[in-house]
Amino acid sequence: MKNKIIVLVFIFIFDVNGAIINKNINIKSDSVEFIEQLNQISFQNNVEIDSDNIIIKADSAIYDNSEDLISFIGMPTTIKSEEVEVEFSGTAQKILFYNDEKIHLIGNAYMQYEGISISSELIIFNPKTGKLSSE
């Protein structure tokens, strides 16, 4: 029961901040832990977030309420759009998801967007505007 409450808190936090992940979200992981002293929620092992907009798969994820940031870590971590208007997919060692809807793919980053393939150590992408940059 505790894990279900934590997931509901996580969903509420994302909904309030208006992130790309919306109300129709399913979060799966082998374990969930609320880390009160750090104001974080940790999802461990076989993490999968599935919403109307995106699917993200990772080994682990941490939502940091203080930073309004969720970090996905894996070998690799994958992200895929579920929207027809903004179709993209990518992989990286780490994906950072900010509350302003920017997505950072970090470490061996690869992304396909509108028929373009990009490889870099860092790819920054905003799925709402389509703005894309790499370093």
**Cβ–Cβ under 8 Å, residues 76 and 64:** no
Higher pLDDT, 23 or 85: 85
| Domains and their CATH numbers in the chain | 2-134 (2.60.450.10)
The β-bridge partners of 56 are 49, 79
Q: Say what the pTM is.
A: 0.77
Q: What is the DSSP letter of 65?
A: T
Cβ neighbours of residue 101 under 8 Å, at least 6 residues apart?
Answer: 18, 19, 20, 126, 127, 128
pLDDT, tens digit (0-9, with 9 covering 90-100), for 27-52: 789 999 999 899 999 999 999 988 77
**Cβ–Cβ under 8 Å, residues 98 and 68:** yes
Reported as a pLDDT band with limits 50, 70 and 90, residue 7 is very low
